Structure 1
Amino acid sequence: MRARLANLWDSFRSSFWFVPTIMALLAIALALGTCQLDELIARSNRQLSWFSTTAEAARSTLSSVAGATIALAGVVFSITVLTLSIASSQFGSRLVRNVMSDSIADLVIGQYVGTSLYCLLVLQTIREGKNGTEAFTPQIGTAVGLILGLICMGMLILFIHHVATAMQAPTIITAVARDLDLAVDRLFPERIGERPDEETEQNLTTEEIRSELSNNNMTVPSHSEGYIEGIDGESLVSLACQAEGVIELLCKPGDFVTRDKLLARIWLPEQIEKTEDLTISYINSVNRVIIVGPRRTPRQDVGYAARELVEMAVRALSPGINDPFTAMSCIDRLGGSLGRLVERSTPAMIRRDSESVPRVLITRADGFAEVLNQSFGQIREYGASSTAVSLTMLKALTDIASHASRPDDLHAIDREAQALQTAFTSQHAVESDLEQFQSQHQQLLEFLDSND
């Protein structure tokens, strides 16, 4: 349930309707509150000199603020759409999610729509006392409307400044790299925590646990088609406890699944009869735990978070854009994030319940080696022809190696460095470039040998 709520919050955070809706509701509540306060003041026959105004002046002020703010909302919306169009064409459509998440456009639009709605609601309470009706002028309501209008003017200046800075490549690269760092911290925490079964788990593998299970099992096909956006691990362990068995996951976040593709296998005790109703119930429960959607998200998929930086680098290296400096910035950020990743311990592939009984077997998961290959492998394919980009990649690999301690991780870095050397040598004939690359590559090899 927690994973589904987190995934839902991510979709809200990257939308343009959520914040304006909340602010519109707050504007309605504020309008009702100020009108109630004005009525209390009117019944007490008290006069507030600072807020004193006439019905005609109040109507004119509120009408002007309401009309100006709703017009500005249209201007902000137009600028936002233009900004997203530029970001999509220059950096890739998948990065629109990052631009939308970090944009203050939804806050500005919400402020304008909320202010206009507030002024309209307060405006309709004004009465001039004709035909026997009691006169009523919302003095506090008018003053609050004027203050909201002044805030809107300031937010317009803030929005223009934000747009001018948000579309710069370094700003977008920083935002995407922050998503990658958050994914690393979320999926590979610095301290995974001491488990009571730690020593036992070190001597067990998923294959050994699977060999001890009975032949009473059922497969779980997918009910929908799309990308796996997340898996609720806690609910999966609870479901395995309920079944008194073990669930073997055959997929991971980021995988594309088709309808009826196997998602998991449930191993049941021999004494439990596998009836049709029980099978359908467990299959539906697992499908509810595994969240399938139209796109990959970085919530539980660190590979996709790195891929966003890779996409920016690859597009920058295309002949149509030819911007190696943006690619080099992306490589620097990838090197920093992967340097943090290589320091982290890999989460357990065997998840246990509160009594240390194995309940979930994870057969596929992205680790450091997979993310490194997915990141630098694609950039190498398009950037090996550039000396500056290749040297930046070699420097990033050296920085990552300085954080690595496990032999498998050092070998993965060595493989990537050897592949980069092969690609660079095959595309360059200038002796000075080759010498510069070989010198830096030799330093990396010596560092790897000293730590192996």
Structure 2
Amino acid sequence: MLTTLVQRWLLIWRTLWFRVAGISVLSIVAVLAAKLLGPVLPHGLDRLVGAQSVDQLLDILSSSMLAVTTFSLSVMVSVYRAISSQWTPRAHRIQLRDNATQMVLATFVGAFVYALCSIVLRSTRFFADRDIVVLFGMTLLVIVLVVVMLLRWMIRLQTMGSLSDIAGRITDQTLRAFRRRMAAPCLGARELSAELVVPENVIDVTAPRSGYVERVFAAAIDAHARGCGGVVYVLKGVGEYVSRGEVIAQVTDAELAEAVLGNVQIGSMRDIEQDPGFGLHVLAEIGSKALSPGVNDGGTVIDMIDRITRVLESWLAPQEAPEAQPRYPGLYLPPLDPAPLVAEPFGLIARDGAAVLEVQKVLQSRLSGLEHHPDPALAEAARQTRELALRRAMEALPHEVDREALAAHVEAMGRRCWGAAVPVCDLPT
């Protein structure tokens, strides 16, 4: 249960409103701390700092933070809209979790709340003379923090919203998700394989709404299963779409149905954290958008192909994956299937870029490399995707010279890299 609490806490922590609210509360605590620490100070220090100097600093801080926060919010909204329209709307959700942007905005709002509360309390008899000394020191610390965040914000704005920035973030998050799934292929649960025989007396658990399985809190489900001595079979993997009323799980005890519904999160959009395939799909969407006539940027497409290939190369074959006992024996989950991870992103680019020779050459090269991956399932998926892309390209390329060039590239690539010719489909007559 502790693992589930940590996971839920991290989900809340990554939201902007929570960080703003948290730092705002801390700023109020800092103001009240001046009242508590004031009596501890030795007598005579109140002559060093005048009330007028504190008031001036608070006035400057409150007015400047209000302007800076408003400007930062307008910049953030503009960048998010540009990302959605220029690359893909799915990238917008990933950018919303930008830690640097959230902390900067939360600090600015917190500094404004601190200054505003201090000004309000200074207009009363709340602060004594020695309390003002502590308030002056607190204000200086807040100013230093604001300056540091301003510098961090300036550095962040240099690359915020650019292709390299958003694609890099998607790639990094997808790689981290892949490594977590490789360490725990079924999120720590037992594998729900096709050979598994499910008991006949199981109870079906249906989806309360339509949407995507965003995440599964495996630790919480297993804790409930062990508590009543039952077993849970989750039939839908993370990232799959379910319709309302569709069976998403089967349980051996009726008490476990509520635990499944409370810990299998269904939402309107996929999430990278437990679903690395979504990250690959977003990268493919960026590449597909770059192939549109309005953009026509072949370099971006090649960059996305390379990023997708780099992520898929981190897939561990069964003989490479470390053997580990399932942490949650009371839960069965479908394993991560490599076939759609290869076919969906590469297939999207292969379809939209079928008539672009340069893109097809790179696509054939990268898929040929994955075709020799140690995992036979991933290698077979790469082979099928490569052959399908080649067949589509041979039909879509408008000029015979381009078709001949692609065929020659594929044959030479096989002999040069793998010591054997790569089969090439027949040229259209």
Q: What TM-score comes out, normalization by structure 2 length?
A: 0.84
Counterpart secondary structure, 1:307: helix
Question: What are the residue-to-residue correspondences of 1:117-136 with 2, within 5 Å?
Answer: 117-126=113-122
Match of residue 284 from structure 1: 258
Listed one character per residue, the Cα deviations across residues 284-320 of structure 1 (whole Å, up to 9, x for unaligned) are 2222232222321112212212111111111121223
Match of residue 177 from structure 1: 171
Q: CA deviation at 1:186?
A: 0.9
Match of residue 275 from structure 1: none
Q: CA deviation at 1:177?
A: 0.5
Kindly tell me: are residues 2 and 422 of structure 1, through their superposed partners in 2, closer, same or farther at Cα, counting changes over 3 Å? farther
Counterpart secondary structure, 1:230: strand
Whichever residue aligns with residue 441 of structure 1, its letter is V
CA–CA distance in structure 1, aligned partners of residues 419 and 382 of structure 2: 12
Match of residue 77 from structure 1: 73
Match of residue 390 from structure 2: 421
2:314 to 333, 340, 347: 340
Q: Is 2:210 aligned against 1:225?
A: yes
Match of residue 426 from structure 2: none
Match of residue 261 from structure 1: 246
Match of residue 32 from structure 1: 32
Match of residue 101 from structure 1: 97
Q: CA deviation at 1:332?
A: 0.7
CA–CA distance in structure 1, aligned partners of residues 401 and 177 of structure 2: 40
Match of residue 272 from structure 1: none
CA–CA distance in structure 1, aligned partners of residues 236 and 259 of structure 2: 16
1:397 to 349, 362, 367: 367
Kindly tell me: are residues 206 and 243 of structure 1, through their superposed partners in 2, closer, same or farther at Cα, counting changes over 3 Å? farther
Kindly tell me: are residues 246 and 154 of structure 1, through their superposed partners in 2, closer, same or farther at Cα, counting changes over 3 Å? closer
Q: CA deviation at 1:328?
A: 1.4
Report if the CA contact (8 A) 1:352-1:359 is conserved.
no
**179-188 vs 111-120, which moves further:** 111-120
Q: Is 2:429 aligned against 1:440?
A: no
1:89 to 70, 79, 85: 85
CA–CA distance in structure 1, aligned partners of residues 60 and 286 of structure 2: 44
CA–CA distance in structure 2, aligned partners of residues 134 and 14 of structure 1: 39
Whichever residue aligns with residue 161 of structure 1, its letter is I
CA–CA distance in structure 2, aligned partners of residues 166 and 406 of structure 1: 37
Whichever residue aligns with residue 212 of structure 2, its letter is Y
Kindly tell me: are residues 218 and 448 of structure 1, through their superposed partners in 2, closer, same or farther at Cα, counting changes over 3 Å? farther
Q: Is 2:174 aligned against 1:209?
A: no
Question: What are the residue-to-residue correspondences of 1:190-201 with 2, within 5 Å?
Answer: none
Report if the CA contact (8 A) 1:183-1:298 is conserved.
yes
Kindly tell me: are residues 353 and 55 of structure 1, through their superposed partners in 2, closer, same or farther at Cα, counting changes over 3 Å? closer
Say what the alpha-carbon RMSD is for the aligned residues. Answer: 3.6
CA–CA distance in structure 2, aligned partners of residues 309 and 88 of structure 1: 13
Report if the CA contact (8 A) 2:371-2:383 is conserved.
no
CA–CA distance in structure 2, aligned partners of residues 407 and 451 of structure 1: 20
CA–CA distance in structure 2, aligned partners of residues 218 and 395 of structure 1: 48
Q: Is 2:395 aligned against 1:407?
A: no
Match of residue 162 from structure 2: 168
**166-175 vs 241-250, which moves further:** 241-250
Counterpart secondary structure, 1:26: helix
Q: Is 2:275 aligned against 1:301?
A: yes
Q: CA deviation at 1:147?
A: 4.2
Q: CA deviation at 1:415?
A: 1.2
Q: CA deviation at 1:2?
A: 6.1
Question: What are the residue-to-residue correspondences of 1:354-369 with 2, within 5 Å?
Answer: 359-362=330-333, 364-369=334-339
Question: What are the residue-to-residue correspondences of 1:324-335 with 2, within 5 Å?
Answer: 324-335=298-309
Q: What TM-score comes out, normalization by structure 1 length?
A: 0.80
CA–CA distance in structure 2, aligned partners of residues 191 and 289 of structure 1: 18
Q: CA deviation at 1:128?
A: 10
2:354 to 359, 368, 384: 384
CA–CA distance in structure 1, aligned partners of residues 332 and 82 of structure 2: 44
| Amino-acid identity (%) | 20
Whichever residue aligns with residue 317 of structure 1, its letter is L
**169-178 vs 293-302, which moves further:** 293-302
CA–CA distance in structure 1, aligned partners of residues 155 and 301 of structure 2: 25
CA–CA distance in structure 2, aligned partners of residues 221 and 297 of structure 1: 21
Q: CA deviation at 1:134?
A: 6.6
CA–CA distance in structure 2, aligned partners of residues 14 and 97 of structure 1: 12
CA–CA distance in structure 1, aligned partners of residues 208 and 160 of structure 2: 40
Whichever residue aligns with residue 378 of structure 1, its letter is L
Listed one character per residue, the Cα deviations across residues 368-416 of structure 1 (whole Å, up to 9, x for unaligned) are 22200111011111012112221221222234345x1233332222111
CA–CA distance in structure 2, aligned partners of residues 296 and 134 of structure 1: 55
Whichever residue aligns with residue 163 of structure 1, its letter is L
Counterpart secondary structure, 2:208: coil
CA–CA distance in structure 1, aligned partners of residues 162 and 45 of structure 2: 53
Q: CA deviation at 1:5?
A: 4.2
Report if the CA contact (8 A) 2:364-2:390 is conserved.
no
Report if the CA contact (8 A) 1:127-1:137 is conserved.
no
CA–CA distance in structure 2, aligned partners of residues 190 and 344 of structure 1: 12
Report if the CA contact (8 A) 1:24-1:113 is conserved.
yes
Report if the CA contact (8 A) 2:45-2:133 is conserved.
no
CA–CA distance in structure 2, aligned partners of residues 231 and 315 of structure 1: 31
CA–CA distance in structure 2, aligned partners of residues 38 and 401 of structure 1: 71
Whichever residue aligns with residue 162 of structure 1, its letter is R
CA–CA distance in structure 2, aligned partners of residues 451 and 353 of structure 1: 45
The structure having more radius of gyration, on CA atoms, is: 1
CA–CA distance in structure 1, aligned partners of residues 406 and 11 of structure 2: 44
Kindly tell me: are residues 166 and 134 of structure 1, through their superposed partners in 2, closer, same or farther at Cα, counting changes over 3 Å? closer
